[in-house]
Amino acid sequence: MEITESVGVAASGEYLTFTLGSEEYGLDILKVQEIRGYDAVTKIANSPPFIKGVINLRGVIVPIVDLRIKFNLGEPSYDQFTVVIILNIGKRVVGIVVDGVSDVIHLNSENLRPAPEFGSVLDTRYILGLGTVDERMIIVVDIERLMTSQEMSLVDAAAV
Amino acid sequence: MSIDMSQFYQVFFEETSEHLANMESLLLDLDVENPSLEDLNAIFRAAHSIKGGSGTFGFTDMTEVTHVLETLLDRLRKEELRLRAEMVDAFLAAGDVLRAQLEHHQGGPEADEAQIREVCERLNQLASGEAPAAAPAGGMQRQARTVYLSCALPAEVVAEGGTLDNLLAALAEIAALEIRHRPDAADPTLSAVLTTLYGDAEIRDTLSFHVAADAVVLSENEVEETAYGLFDEAPAGDPGYGLFDEAPAAADPGYGLFAEEPAAATGGDPGYGLFADEVPAAQAEAPQAIREETDASGAYGLFEDAAGKPEFPAHRKVAPGDAPAAIEGQGYGLFVNAPGGVGLFDGAPGLPATQAAAGAAPASVAPQVPAQSPGRRVTDNPAVETAKAGRRDSDKVMTVANTDTSIRVSVEKVDQLINLVGELVITQAMLAEAANAFDPVTAEKLLAGIDLLSRNTRDLQESVMSIRMLPMSMVFSRFPRVVRDLAGKLNKQVEMKTIGDNTELDKGLIEKITDPMTHLVRNSLDHGIETPEKRVAAGKNPKGTLTLKASHQGGNVVIEVIDDGGGLNREKILAKAKEKAIPGVHDGMSDHEVWQLIFAPGFSTADQVTDVSGRGVGMDVVKRNIEGLGGKVELESSPGYGTRTIIRLPLTLAILDGMSVGVGGETFIVPLTAIVESLQPALADIRTMGGDSRMVHIRGEYLPFVSLAEVFGLNGVQDITQGIVMVIEGEEGKAALFVDELLGQHQVVIKSLEANYRRVPGISGATIMGDGSVAMILDVSAVTRMGLGNPQRTRPAPVEGQMAA
């Protein structure tokens, strides 16, 4: 019910697709600030392993999350091909590390289906739906809800 | 659409608060006796702008109040009415009401309807030229009183019976009149007993058409006959007489200065000084003689307080020995020997003419005047005497220039600019480093260009940082009102002084320093400065002085709150501390240690709790706030001479002096203020306690040993002799922080970690190093706590697998 609703809302629009291991994900392109390579990060003490640390993005301290570690997908390797998507979520700027960025696609309600409910590492609450484009399955994530969720521990518990 | 409107609202709110603040400061500066037309116009303009703005945006409640306010102001500036002290009070009250209404429109609580009505009524009454019939808010209940009036009427009034009758009829309207002596050609003195509800000011007002306010002698006691005798010798036709009307006016602009100097001038001669502001008037010999005599009869502040504020003591004795107190660092003493001081009054209206006419009058009259009567300004404005007179004009010029040449920019834009410049500096540093690889001969032009770039970026950074800087006067300017109100409430006489108004401080600090300073000012007024009686008994000037001072010292801004009150009472503090069982209290403590006890939570030595202070919440909060800003508070006090609170703040919140340390390949910044010393420990210095806890023995002290690598779970140096121990001092007391190495000392720009991430235990913020990398700034107290507790416990619970339910 809730999912169908959000699918309806998110139905039409441009989505940026990226890969984590062999899976393809999509997120609302309007949330993306920029895409850049992976720089040296400064570690944050006592933080969960998927939070790589913070970088200096033109004077702004931006935390970097490795979604591959978070979702146990792909090999977390860091080289010149590693991609960081800088997201603008609410008033926050957050970077996510992914294996690669594929393209920008247009999805509408016809090629977007609700995700079936089953336990996975990525809770279905954060999935807006499954999109199909040229036989590819794209998992469309509600990146804003995911990034501000408690389990990403990116925000203070009190602020959630 | 609605967004657009709210944007305009914001501008209106900002402008209106500015107008209100401006109005308030003008009102507080206003000389009630002789208000400058320019000031009145400025106040009028401010009120008018608020009215216009509120009308445009449909805030009709504000329009109504400002309209009433404007009406009265308009009459004042057209000189249809004379300014009275209660008008200033009413204006200030109206300002408060407007502010409350403004806050309401900004989403604050509803303004008090009753208060609005009351203020409007008061203003209306004042505007219609009547004294408020009912008791005004301040509870200045007027009572019928008997006043003895005597004044010499000009010959033409006496000669023309009709005019005289009109005058007497007018008097009869405001008072029950019993004429003792009806003026006639032989003796133009009008002498009468009035029973009236009105103040002296109204009586003078009534007579003002014919007689200068100052020439009207009003007293609670019967004027002795000797005085009359002298009147006889001062015929109305005396050339000096006419001058009398003008002379006081001429003196006005100089008041502030002269109010300062009096006691200094005389030392042993009690009293003369206060008369000083009347000095120019002394050039008119005859009336001066009258004053002299009437005063000598032990009277009643003849020239007191035309504004007639009965709640303030009009008579004040100056005790001998006050002189030092009166001589201020401001150099007022300069005027001591120039009682005639004419040169100083160049700008005084009407004076040149007066002077010429009064040529023959002996200037020496003044010193003989046994002044009972405090200078007018002193009584008009009993609570606050902002020693501004000398500065006023130049200030005004500055303000005018400021409003004309400034633009309103949001702080975010400025911060963005500062960030961008910061980036530029980093980029420039990178370029410079890369350019070092080039051959200086072949790449000469490039290297010269990079040199130039580095100079320009540095200049740019400095000027951009200065945008955020605001003068301390932004903070100081709110205190005259606080002091005035509080002094009135506490029945104390306090003069407020500010030094170093132009000292600049970061905007963020300016905002955060106001509350602690208000606390200190209230404390000084409530506990520091004594009541006039006590002060006189102690041989001090009855009027206390509160000085706010700001200055730069190295990389710090030093703000001082100085009062010349009773000082701290060592015995009382010690007794209280023992009563509260504060640990480590003993009689042998140094003064400095005793003063520090004041900062303990819940500490108050006030005998009784007032609504001003004394509840013992305060100094600990002040201290915590200031330490939160990276500053320090110190106290100096000397019994009988006063107390000085010194606040040291970093120049800006955005920059921190820090030591960078390396631990396990990571760089951390330790605030320099927290570091006591750094040393290389010997193995023998490390002792264990309970097997696990380690202590370091440094100079006879056992300090808890905290390894930063352990706290943060890093791979630091294991061999203690290979690392460095930093003795740090935070809220938790001293501790020894073990790090791998010291890297260097920097000024770092503080960046928030919470803006995009969250609070990290042990970290107070982050910064960007010269090479563009991010370094964490340690929260020394938290790190100590983490190190002393079980480090496992302070780590966040494992996050994986913990699905948000």
Q: What is the 3-state secondary structure (H, E, C) of B416-469?
A: HHHHHHHHHHHHHHHHHHHHCCCCCCCCHHHHHHHHHHHHHHHHHHHHHHHHCE
* Phi, psi (deg, nearest 5) at residue B743: -100, -35
Distance CA B300, CA B666 (A): 78
- Contact list in B for residue A52 (CB cut-off 8 A) is none
Distance CA B373, CA B380 (A): 12
- Percent of chain B's residues with pLDDT above 90: 1
Q: Does B534 touch chain A (CB under 8 A)?
A: no
pLDDT above 60 for B35: yes
Report the pLDDT value the prediction gives residue B145, as an integer from 0 to 100.
65
Q: Does A67 touch chain B (CB under 8 A)?
A: no
Distance CA B331, CA B313 (A): 28
Q: Which of residues 701-720 of B touch A (CB under 8 A)?
A: 711-714
- Write the DSSP string, B243-287: HHHHHHHHHGGGHHHHHHSHHHHHTTSTTGGGGGGGGGGGGSHHH
pLDDT above 90 for A85: yes
Q: B726 forms bridges with which residues in the sheet? A: B678, B737
Q: How far is B553 from chain A (nearest CA, A)?
A: 29
CB B695 within 8 A of CB B704: yes
Q: Which residue has the higher pLDDT, B645 or B297?
A: B645
Q: What is the mean pLDDT of residues B604-628?
A: 65
**Closest residue to A123, CB basis, from B776, B794, B803:** B803
The token duo for A94 is 């957050």
Report the pLDDT value the prediction gives residue B752, as an integer from 0 to 100.
79
Q: Does B433 touch chain A (CB under 8 A)?
A: no
Q: What is the mean pLDDT of residues B692-719?
A: 83
Q: What is the mean pLDDT of residues B367-382?
A: 38
Q: Do B753 and A61 touch (CB under 8 A)?
A: yes
Nearest CA to B360 among B283, B281, B250, B280? Answer: B283
Kindly report whether the global pTM for this prediction surpasses the value 0.90. no
pLDDT above 60 for B312: no
**Closest residue to A43, CB basis, from B420, B666, B755:** B666
Report the pLDDT value the prediction gives residue B305, as an integer from 0 to 100.
40
Q: Does A155 touch chain B (CB under 8 A)?
A: yes
Q: What is the mean pLDDT of residues B629-640?
A: 83
Q: Which residue has the higher pLDDT, A74 or A126?
A: A126
**Residue B606: strand, helix, or coil:** coil
CB B762 within 8 A of CB B744: no
- Write the DSSP string, A88-152: EETTEEEEEEESEEEEEEEE-GGGEEPPP----SS-GGGEEEEEEETTEEEEEE-HHHHHTSGGG
pLDDT above 50 for B104: yes
- Contact list in A for residue B464 (CB cut-off 8 A) is none
Q: Does B766 touch chain A (CB under 8 A)?
A: yes
Q: Do A56 and B774 touch (CB under 8 A)?
A: yes
Q: Do A44 and B713 touch (CB under 8 A)?
A: no
Q: How far is A57 from chain B (nearest CA, A)?
A: 9
Q: Mean pLDDT in chain B?
A: 69
CA dihedral A15, A21, A22, A23 (to 10 degrees): -40
Residue B139, Cβ neighbours under 10 Å: how many? Answer: 7
By CA distance, what is B756's nearest residue in A? A92
Q: Does B113 touch chain A (CB under 8 A)?
A: no
Report the pLDDT value the prediction gives residue B452, as an integer from 0 to 100.
92
Report the pLDDT value the prediction gives residue B80, as an integer from 0 to 100.
77
B115-129, B173-187, B463-477, B786-800: range with lowest mean pLDDT: B786-800
Report the pLDDT value the prediction gives residue B594, as an integer from 0 to 100.
83
Residue B134, Cβ neighbours under 10 Å: how many? Answer: 10
Q: How far is B802 from chain A (nearest CA, A)?
A: 7
| pLDDT bucket at A35, cuts 50 / 70 / 90 | very high
Q: Do B795 and A46 touch (CB under 8 A)?
A: yes
The per-residue pLDDT for range B163-204, each reduced to its tens digit, is: 667 667 666 666 667 777 776 666 667 777 766 666 666 666
Residue the block writes with tokens 């995009």? B756
pLDDT above 70 for B451: yes
| pLDDT bucket at B211, cuts 50 / 70 / 90 | low
Report the pLDDT value the prediction gives residue B96, as an integer from 0 to 100.
84
Cβ-based contacts under 8 A for chains A and B: 95
Q: Does B762 touch chain A (CB under 8 A)?
A: yes
Distance CA B192, CA B189 (A): 10
- Contact list in B for residue A41 (CB cut-off 8 A) is 774
pLDDT above 50 for B359: no
A146-160, B223-237, B491-505, B779-793: range with lowest mean pLDDT: B223-237
Q: What is the mean pLDDT of residues B268-285?
A: 40
**Closest residue to A56, CB basis, from B754, B760, B768:** B768
- Contact list in A for residue B668 (CB cut-off 8 A) is none
**Closest residue to A156, CB basis, from B423, B759, B766:** B759
| pLDDT bucket at B279, cuts 50 / 70 / 90 | very low
Q: Do B758 and A154 touch (CB under 8 A)?
A: yes
The token duo for B744 is 């260097």
The DSSP bridge pattern shows strands B543-553 and B493-499 to be parallel
pLDDT above 90 for A86: yes
Nearest CA to B410 among B484, B366, B468? Answer: B468
| Amino acid at site B718 | Q
pLDDT above 80 for B383: no
The per-residue pLDDT for range B530-558, each reduced to its tens digit, is: 888 888 888 888 888 899 999 887 667 88
Q: Does B802 touch chain A (CB under 8 A)?
A: yes
Q: Do B799 and A92 touch (CB under 8 A)?
A: no
